[in-house]
Amino acid sequence: MRTLAAAAFIFSIIPAPAFAWGKTGHRVVGQIADAHLSSKARSAVKRILCTETMAEASNWPDFMKSDPSPFWQKTASPWHYVTLPGGKTYDQVGAPPEGDAITALDRFSATLRDRKASPDDKRVALRFIIHIVGDLAQPLHNGNGTDRGGNDLKVTWFGKPTNLHSVWDTLLVDDEQLSYSEMAAWLNARITPADVKAWSSADPRVWMADSVIVRDQVYPPSGDTALGYRYVYENTPRVELQLEKGGVRLAAYLNKVFR
């Protein structure tokens, strides 16, 4: 943890965004990924996490946001999202000086490959990777640079005030009233071998481009900020598909790291 804490002196200070997916969604991504790991990756994950499951590890970076230390309050905040204005690719935009989800994935995958890295640093790195891949499957964590990933778009959810980001983080997922294990089992059962083949890119830039397409579809029509049954009907299939893709892509990424 010393190595990671030292990074607090490197990056700029920016405010933290809202969490992605909430606890249920992140656990679903971790649980689905576990079903698609290679035998080599599964052994490596088990060695690093010990008794902790990928579903359990998936929410740790969000939990640690309550730690008052500068590392968690400032340095790690940008690692949960990317900013991709409409019509731009990540290579065109690049990472900001404080870093983002992509630079964090590069950093933590290097830690997992480093034979000299401590067990504690490897555990932190793996927990972050599990979480960040889940974050990138949430369309609004691929922000357009204008509204903080939908946080600034105020809406009502069945009459209660909230914002679009929170709708996607938790409210749509919680609307199904399933435990994470139930949801993961149901979603994983529908993933076909063809789906796995189509979604198994280990390149985060591919995931981001896909999430941006979905991001631009989830904004309600201008002026229509009262969200309810119609929005649930139109977007629940999108939520479920993103969770499925997130799980398969997390497995693909870890399979590559541990190959």
| Per-residue confidence (pLDDT) for residue 12, from 0 to 100 | 29
Res. 15: pLDDT tops 60: no
Two tokens at 41?
Answer: 């990756």
Res. 258: pLDDT tops 90: yes
Q: How many angstroms separate the CA atoms of 112 and 116, rounded?
A: 10
| Per-residue confidence (pLDDT) for residue 223, from 0 to 100 | 81
CA-nearest of 187, 66, 185, 65 to 137 is 187
CATH topology classification for 2-7+26-257: P1 Nuclease (1.10.575)
Mean pLDDT of the chain: 92
Lowest mean pLDDT segment, chosen from 16-20, 46-50, 103-107: 16-20
Are 109 and 41 within 8 A, CB to CB? no
How would you classify the pairing of strands 82-83 and 142-143? parallel
Per-residue confidence band for 204, with pLDDT thresholds at 50, 70 and 90: very high
| Per-residue confidence (pLDDT) for residue 114, from 0 to 100 | 97
Q: How many angstroms separate the CA atoms of 157 and 93, rounded?
A: 33
Are 248 and 195 within 8 A, CB to CB? yes
| Per-residue confidence (pLDDT) for residue 42, from 0 to 100 | 98
Are 53 and 203 within 8 A, CB to CB? no
Res. 10: pLDDT tops 70: no
Res. 196: pLDDT tops 80: yes
Q: What helix, strand, coil percent values describe the chain, rounded to 5?
A: 65, 5, 30
* Domain ranges within the chain, ordered by starting residue: 2-7+26-257
Question: φ, ψ for residue 14 (rounded to 5)?
Answer: -140, 155
**Other C-beta atoms within 10 Å of 49: how many?**
17
Q: Report which DSSP code applies to 19.
A: -
208, amino acid identity? M
* Per-residue pLDDT tens over the stretch 236-255: 999 999 999 999 999 999 99
Q: Which helix (H) or strand (E) holds 133?
A: helix 119-137
**Other C-beta atoms within 10 Å of 130: how many?**
30
Q: How many angstroms separate the CA atoms of 136 and 26, rounded?
A: 11
| Per-residue confidence (pLDDT) for residue 19, from 0 to 100 | 58
DSSP bridge pairs for 161:
156
